Amino acid sequence: MFVRSVFSGPLRALGIRLLAPPPPPGDRLADGFLEELDRLSGEHGPLLVGGISFGAHLSAEWASRNPGRCTGLLAALPAWNGPAGRAPASLAARLSADLVAENGVDGALAKSSDGVPEWLSAELGRAWRRHGDGLAASLRTAASRPAPALEDLAGLDVPAGIGACADDPIHPAEVARAWAAALPRAEVGESTLTALGADRESLGRATRLEERLVGTESRFRLSP
| CATH number of the domain bearing residue 164 | 3.40.50.1820
What does residue 73 show for φ and ψ, rounded to 5 degrees? Answer: -135, 135
Residue 50 lies in a domain: yes
Q: Could you tell me the residue range of the domain that residue 169 belongs to?
A: 2-85+142-222
Residue 8 lies in a domain: yes
Residue 153 lies in a domain: yes
**Model confidence band, residue 218 (pLDDT cutoffs 50, 70, 90):** very low
Q: What is the pLDDT of residues 7-17, one digit of tens each?
A: 999 998 888 88
Return d(Cα 77, Cα 174) in angstroms, integer. 10
User: Residue 62 in contact with residue 49, Cβ under 8 Å?
Assistant: yes
Return d(Cα 35, Cα 62) in angstroms, integer. 9
Tell me the C-alpha to C-alpha distance, in Å, between residue 34 and each of 63, 64, 117, 175, 190. Answer: 10, 12, 32, 22, 27
Residue 177 lies in a domain: yes
The model's pTM is: 0.93
Q: What is the pLDDT of residues 40-81, one digit of tens each?
A: 999 989 999 999 999 999 999 999 999 999 999 999 999 999
**Model confidence band, residue 219 (pLDDT cutoffs 50, 70, 90):** low
Confidence check: pLDDT of 141 > 80: yes
Q: Is the dihedral of CA 155, 58, 178, 45 positive or negative?
A: positive
Q: Mean pLDDT across the stretch 199-213?
A: 82
What is the domain count for the chain? Answer: 1
Residue 207 lies in a domain: yes
